[in-house]
Structure 1
Amino acid sequence: MSLSRYRSPVAVSRIRVQRTEAVLVEQYGSLVRLAYLVLPATIGRHRRLLMAHTLVQRSLAKVPRAAWRRSRIPAPREAAEGATDCLRDELRVVVLRGALDVAGGRGGRLRRCTALLGSPLPIVVGLRLLPLSGGPEDPTTGRHLAQEPPTSRAAFVLRYLDGLPEDTVVGVLRAASARNPAEALRRAARLRDDVGATVAGDGVPARPGEWDACTVRAQPTDLLHRRLRTRLAGAALLAGLAAVTACIVVDTVSARPEPVRQQTSVSALQHVRRTPPGAWADTSRVDFTAWPARGERRSDDALVERAVAAWARPTGSLARVATAPGTAGDPLSGSPQLLYAGEVEGRAVVVLYDGRRLARYTEPSRQGRGAAALSLARVDDADVTTAAAITVSRSGASARYLLAPWIAEAGSRDLLRPDEAARTVNVSADGLTERVPGVPAGSSCDRRPVLQLRSSPSIVEDHSFLLADLGGLSPTHLTYTPLPGSHTAAARQPREATGSAALTAWSRTACGLGDRDRSAIRAVNLWDFAEQRLPEGSGSAVWSCSRSVTWRGGSDVAVVLRTRHGGATLLAARESDSAACSRFGQHVVAQAHWRSPRGDWYILAAGSRAVRGLDITGDVTAGTDGRTLAEPAPRTAETWVSGRLASGDTLPALPPPPAHPDRS
């Protein structure tokens, strides 16, 4: 006789909880991975990792009743496989809903608990837990993940890491109250293509431990202040209220940078890395890792310690903190590399590097006044040009730079005056330049000074390049791509903008440098993609595409039409975060309204080397089998231009700017 129907409700509930716990333990790693990758990267890796474990462990109390009610789990004597699958899906739903709530700003209770305790469960004291390198924190992969919305990251994990069918993924996302699951799946497919080098084609991690938020590395927390805080706490317990008040006063005063005189923490300074002076001349990695420690105060342990302390606790208590766009503001983790420590125009300057960010710490000199400041900027994947200079001091429109050890010559030239030779810039033995004019902000365009540097023959023979100071810690690299030779010639690649043709092209477009996002641009390439004869015998014009790329991976594209021999320059198109004018978007079509010297209006259009024909539709219709087209049209005519490629595809013109300047 079966007695299962006579089991008490308490016993049945206990069985459900035990079954759910077994499934949770079995799927713990994949659930933590799901929560970790869905949570926003802005909360920091340590807190995000603990939050992920918290969400999974808290799901145990939420699943059994909901799973029994929604999924009709079979009775204990029936087949348990369906019940296990149902519980697995319910666990995913609960964990995913919690992660989406936090990512969407609705996880208030969890955020408050995390802010107070680090995390409700588990609690880790004295250690920072970080995922192993090579996983989602890889700079390139992490950038792709951070740019996607939480629902797309969730669909990516469920579909391509957990290997769930698309209909199951859609069901889980809907049950977790995610918006537009179908669109999330489409974006997840594109994300898979972006990180294809990391994830195998069948959705299985390419290397053991990849994407694993349960395999972590531990490192100490704030070593610089832990002993000090411990001593202060003991003194407070022994001395009572008076001692507590004194400690608060001392802590308040220590937040002011000028009187800070902390004792040197030998254990912390031992972790500051210093590259040998000659390493740059014999290395295959020519970037910031090859910089030696320079400056007259590089042996000042107290100064270096204060800089490390400000970065290890970037809360504003030790220094004013400024973070460049797209740069993570999380505390220093790991061992920083010392690049410079010295005196620059009345302030002590320390420059540190952690492998992906630069930190410039400044404080008043011994006789000076003012507050300490910390500036952070992203510089991952820097190279021989983008790691060639660091801005250490700026006053108005001029600055002083610290040059890389492989820079043999330094000069300054004005982009608006291509025929003038570069002026020599004096450089100290430590690589510090004299004050050099920079690109001024604003609409005025009477000068556009840039640095012209030449690398040592020990790195590369006869290599000169241009850097423009646009307000960031590292100046922006300027390059140039000349006009194509013919339809059959190979596509030309960007080159250094130091030749006569490059300088002439940049002289006509350099004014646009002052209008860009001036604190996070890594490089700007100017590409002359077409030349066109103008109507009415007005000479010729060149179509150029200027593409700026930020350190965070974003881009800004602007197409300009410039007439020969010092004529006007017309902004024809603008687009952001696009592949246009890059190695992944080599086919370009653009159009512009142009007025001839006689006052007649035309539609001008041009395409890059792969374009075999152009068509105009709308208020004016016209076509050609060439790469350029000019058709009379009123200024107010609405037209659409498209190009015909050799492959038979149609390529629409880049979108025009928000407002057309009325220039001739």
Structure 2
Amino acid sequence: MQSQDVAPRPAPGSPADRIVDVEQAEAALVEHYPRLVRLAYLVLPPRLGRGRRVLTAHALVQRALPRRRTSAPAIPSQSTARDGDPGYAYVRLQVVRTALEAGLPLRRRALPRRAQLPPLLPQVWGLRLFPRSGGADELALDQRLSALSGPARAAYVLRGLEKLPDGDVREVLSEAGVDDVDAALRGADTVAAQYALLDSTEFDPCSLQARPTDLMRRRQHTKAALAAAAALAVCGALVALPGGGWGPDGAAAPVYAQNPAAEAALDPGRLVKISPAAWKTSARTDFSVWPARGDLAGDDALLRRALAVWARPGERVSVSSTPGTPSGGPAGPPHLLYAGDIDTARVVILYDGLRIVRYAEPRDGTAGAALDFARVDGATGAEAAAVVLDRADGNVRYLTAPWVSKAAERDLSKPGAGAMDLTLTGGITSPLSSPATRAGGCTTWNVLQVTDASGSYLLSDLGELVPARLTAGRPTAPKEASGAEALRTWAPFACSLGEVRAQGVRSVNAWAYARQPLPDAGGQAGWVCTRADTWRGDGSRVLAQFHTPGGLFGAVTAQAGDVPACGPRDPHVLAGVLWKSEAGAWYLLAAGDRDTESVRATGGVSASGEGNLLAVPAKQGAQAELEGTLEGGRSIKGLR
């Protein structure tokens, strides 16, 4: 529900849409800080050295905020996460401009620009910081980029990292003060378009290695260093002592600077608290319409501590986040979903439109506080039906969406066992067994079954804040895994979910793509492809699995990461396995989906056959390459 005293957002492209407030620019900088620092690091001249480039890149980005309201360049971003954001366009332009200025030579008769001088802040004493080393391809690309001029290097990075077309690259470079934009684009054309390498750790100034500086020189200057440290300690104490100091914030780190926008986001009085009935009239079924629940939802002291630790976790706070989830503070007042006592802890759950954040502290103090982040952008329906509230003694308790009317526990490996009802008290389930932290062999896999007005669906705890949604069926039209046929499909492969724990998984689909008669009267085997997709988009995991008659669980025969196979973009799969019959004979078995017209094996086994199945004699340990032909003539490689 939109407040009546909030001005409507201007239409994209209008003059008003291009006005950037300091708070808007700061929100863009905080949200996209790792990308902006990577952009600055890549554009800075390599002659500075990797260590100085790291510190300079952070300094340039942190100085990119405007001092007052200003206008943004009319240059769209190509990434959907930043599309049309004038704050991001402004900050990016400042980063490119100052990074190019840092590469200009110093002149005797001209005052140096700020970017040309070593940054005063940030500073690191006694350590040399530099990004982690990549592979040979990254090293070769870095060498080729170092041979380019600064504008040419910026053009290449804007094309590859920002995905900007040449027209927008021209505008960014012109706004940044580049005189000969055409020469910059021609220079960028001389380097092969290996844009995927720009996302590697070789060019990530936020993921660093540390090594000591000159130890002998440091020993000689010990007295000076001690004096400087004492002075810094005194200054820090003087800054931290005034009213609003860090004591009331519990486990949060000290406050060394004041920022009005940040303080507004950390004010417990400004937390967004949705009314309990709002979801009933809303067209949305996501976390934005969850009401604020819990017996401590009015405890301002607890909420203040949770927000403060979120913004600046202290050294003793245990912080975790799912892969690809930014862990910075909130850009504005977040939604409060829950605050209350659970077992021996006080728990606060917050939502900022992109992330679910869980703060937990012991009931008897703040020592041992924990902060967990999970990315949930775009979550709706089943994906926004539950959040992990607490894990203890091998069990997990969930906070469910207000539209969930029933919750139950089901063993995914036993489709005929039925579901055991769980009590729902204030949206909180009673404890159920969690497979997320189980050690040793797997014989069962318990999942949460929730029911709302549209039906039932299954969610699996994979060790993160938000459980993964389980589906079954052809990737182009998957169905909820709660149906009888879907449960039978999942049963032999339930334990394979352990392969994708703690990887930021959003959903897992199981597709029974083939049935194959086994040689030597071995019965019929099943082929299933499971695909786990993540919240961040990349990092998907595909497993081809094989199940023989009488076997309790299936076996993984092939796996791959970041491939379109077995997904909505490419709903096809081909996989094979060496199998030994009860008669002692070895066979190469292969199966593709129903659109496969023929299968061919080469290498250690040479054979081919019509249709989507292949079964030929083979030797133990034989290695074979598989290739299939789909309807229409397209080739498909076997999953490895």
Alignment map for 1:600-639 (pairs within 5 Å): 600-639=585-624
Residue number in structure 1 paired with 2:121: none
Residue number in structure 1 paired with 2:535: 551
Q: Find 2:241's aligned residue among 247, 257, 281.
A: 247
Distance 2:265 2:185 in 1: 51
Query: Secondary structure at 1:157's aligned position in 2?
Result: coil
Change in 2 beyond 3 A, CA 1:557/1:157: same
Work out whether residues 255 and 318 of structure 1, in 8 Å CA contact, stay in contact via their aligned partners in 2: no
Q: Determine if the alignment matches structure 1 residue 419 to structure 2 residue 403.
A: no
Residue number in structure 2 paired with 1:360: 358
**Once superposed, what is the RMSD of the aligned Cα atoms?**
4.3
Q: Determine if the alignment matches structure 1 residue 598 to structure 2 residue 603.
A: no
Query: Secondary structure at 1:511's aligned position in 2?
Result: helix
Q: Determine if the alignment matches structure 1 residue 285 to structure 2 residue 279.
A: no
Structure 1: gaps (5+ residues): 1-40, 56-94, 143-147, 189-239, 483-490, 656-664
Residue number in structure 1 paired with 2:368: 371
Distance 2:484 2:78 in 1: 44
Query: Secondary structure at 2:428's aligned position in 1?
Result: coil
Change in 2 beyond 3 A, CA 1:138/1:652: closer
Distance 1:494 1:390 in 2: 23
Q: Find 2:518's aligned residue among 534, 554, 559.
A: 534
Amino acid at match of 1:273: V
Query: Secondary structure at 2:361's aligned position in 1?
Result: strand
Residue number in structure 1 paired with 2:340: 342
Query: Secondary structure at 1:402's aligned position in 2?
Result: strand
Amino acid at match of 1:649: R
Q: Find 2:448's aligned residue among 445, 448, 451.
A: 451
Q: Determine if the alignment matches structure 1 residue 45 to structure 2 residue 32.
A: yes
Change in 2 beyond 3 A, CA 1:297/1:183: same
Query: Secondary structure at 2:241's aligned position in 1?
Result: helix
Alignment map for 1:35-74 (pairs within 5 Å): 45=32
Query: Secondary structure at 2:274's aligned position in 1?
Result: coil
Superposed CA deviations along residues 361-394 of structure 1, whole A, max 9, x for unmatched, are 11222x4563222111100110111111111111
Work out whether residues 252 and 313 of structure 2, in 8 Å CA contact, stay in contact via their aligned partners in 1: no
Question: For structure 1, which segment, 618-627 or 397-406, has the greater mean C-alpha deviation from structure 2 after superposition?
Answer: 618-627
Q: Determine if the alignment matches structure 1 residue 577 to structure 2 residue 582.
A: no
Residue number in structure 2 paired with 1:390: 387
Deviation at 1:508, TM superposition (A): 0.5
Change in 2 beyond 3 A, CA 1:556/1:103: farther
Residue number in structure 2 paired with 1:157: 164
Residue number in structure 1 paired with 2:193: 183
Amino acid at match of 1:470: L
Residue number in structure 2 paired with 1:517: 501
Residue number in structure 2 paired with 1:502: 486
The total of aligned residue pairs comes to 494
Amino acid at match of 1:247: L
Distance 1:531 1:102 in 2: 61
Return the index of the structure with the highest Cα Rg. 1
Change in 2 beyond 3 A, CA 1:102/1:138: farther
Question: For structure 1, which segment, 532-541 or 496-505, has the greater mean C-alpha deviation from structure 2 after superposition?
Answer: 496-505
Work out whether residues 557 and 576 of structure 2, in 8 Å CA contact, stay in contact via their aligned partners in 1: yes
Amino acid at match of 1:413: R
TM-score normalised by length of structure 2 = 0.68
Distance 1:384 1:100 in 2: 48
Superposed CA deviations along residues 262-319 of structure 1, whole A, max 9, x for unmatched, are xx989923431111211212222201011011111111222222222222x2343584
Distance 1:288 1:578 in 2: 30
Distance 2:74 2:331 in 1: 13
Deviation at 1:158, TM superposition (A): 5.5
Deviation at 1:44, TM superposition (A): 5.1
Change in 2 beyond 3 A, CA 1:254/1:342: closer
Change in 2 beyond 3 A, CA 1:542/1:522: same
Superposed CA deviations along residues 45-101 of structure 1, whole A, max 9, x for unmatched, are 36976998xx7xxxxxxxxxxxxxxxxxxxxxxxxxxxxxxxxxxxxxxx9732889
Work out whether residues 271 and 336 of structure 2, in 8 Å CA contact, stay in contact via their aligned partners in 1: yes
Change in 2 beyond 3 A, CA 1:241/1:537: closer
Q: Determine if the alignment matches structure 1 residue 110 to structure 2 residue 56.
A: yes
Distance 1:469 1:573 in 2: 24
Distance 1:471 1:130 in 2: 42
Amino acid at match of 2:584: G
Amino acid at match of 1:323: S
Deviation at 1:569, TM superposition (A): 2.5
Residue number in structure 2 paired with 1:648: 633
Distance 1:600 1:301 in 2: 71
Change in 2 beyond 3 A, CA 1:171/1:577: farther
Query: Secondary structure at 2:559's aligned position in 1?
Result: strand
Distance 2:553 2:35 in 1: 53
Deviation at 1:495, TM superposition (A): 0.7
Q: Determine if the alignment matches structure 1 residue 257 to structure 2 residue 251.
A: yes
Work out whether residues 322 and 376 of structure 1, in 8 Å CA contact, stay in contact via their aligned partners in 2: yes
Query: Secondary structure at 1:543's aligned position in 2?
Result: strand
Query: Secondary structure at 1:407's aligned position in 2?
Result: coil
Query: Secondary structure at 2:164's aligned position in 1?
Result: helix
Work out whether residues 252 and 309 of structure 2, in 8 Å CA contact, stay in contact via their aligned partners in 1: no
Q: Determine if the alignment matches structure 1 residue 98 to structure 2 residue 44.
A: yes
Residue number in structure 2 paired with 1:139: 81
Amino acid at match of 2:395: S
Superposed CA deviations along residues 321-356 of structure 1, whole A, max 9, x for unmatched, are 222211012221022111111111121111110101
Work out whether residues 587 and 615 of structure 2, in 8 Å CA contact, stay in contact via their aligned partners in 1: yes
Residue number in structure 2 paired with 1:399: 396
Distance 2:193 2:409 in 1: 50
Identical aligned residues as a percent: 33
Deviation at 1:580, TM superposition (A): 0.8
Distance 1:43 1:105 in 2: 23
Residue number in structure 2 paired with 1:475: 467
Deviation at 1:493, TM superposition (A): 1.6
Change in 2 beyond 3 A, CA 1:242/1:274: closer
Work out whether residues 547 and 557 of structure 1, in 8 Å CA contact, stay in contact via their aligned partners in 2: yes
Residue number in structure 2 paired with 1:442: 439
Amino acid at match of 1:257: A
Distance 1:241 1:182 in 2: 51
Work out whether residues 540 and 563 of structure 2, in 8 Å CA contact, stay in contact via their aligned partners in 1: yes
Superposed CA deviations along residues 591-645 of structure 1, whole A, max 9, x for unmatched, are 1111111111101111112111111222332221111110001022232211111
Work out whether residues 391 and 401 of structure 1, in 8 Å CA contact, stay in contact via their aligned partners in 2: yes
Work out whether residues 598 and 611 of structure 2, in 8 Å CA contact, stay in contact via their aligned partners in 1: yes
Work out whether residues 152 and 184 of structure 1, in 8 Å CA contact, stay in contact via their aligned partners in 2: no
